[in-house]
Structure 1
Amino acid sequence: MRAGMESAKWSGGEAIPEAAGIHDLLKQLPSKRYPISNNGNPGGATETRFKARVTKQYLIHGSIGPSCAVAWFNDGVLTVWTHT
């Protein structure tokens, strides 16, 4: 443990965006549409239209997907890759 701690080399990642501007930032990021269905008839035009913006502040408390770590001990050097 102590040898690992003394020889560990950390690299920084990208800065976390400010929470106050996260929703505007998300609109600027690249996106891709995934149609649910291209079948059927939308039923014709209507005069009623709705427009809304609904947001929720992000809660960063844990991963939303699977997590994994891989360790490789080679020539006396331990290398660890992890999601964190």
Structure 2
Amino acid sequence: MSEDQAALLSEVSEVLESVLNRKVELKPEMNIVNDLGLDSIAVMNFTMALEDKFDISIPLHDMASVVTVQDLLNTLSALRSDA
């Protein structure tokens, strides 16, 4: 994992912890729904918090293809570079 990806993972972890109000140790291979136990409302809140944190808009069709934490990091990296 590159230094940029590691920094992004740390930021994403902070956002998720603030949404869930609990400590979370994210790993790139983790499944966001199954491994983290997020329901649809938590995913929606997490997505909105990410949009606020990174000042981006995450299209629904992009989020539909996000399954793992690594997928999320790749999506966020792409969206941030487009901004």
Please report the TM-score for the alignment, with normalisation by the length of structure 2.
0.19
Higher strand residue share: 1
| Structure with greater contact order relative to length (CA < 8 Å, sep ≥ 6) | 2
- Choose 1 or 2 for highest CA Rg: 1
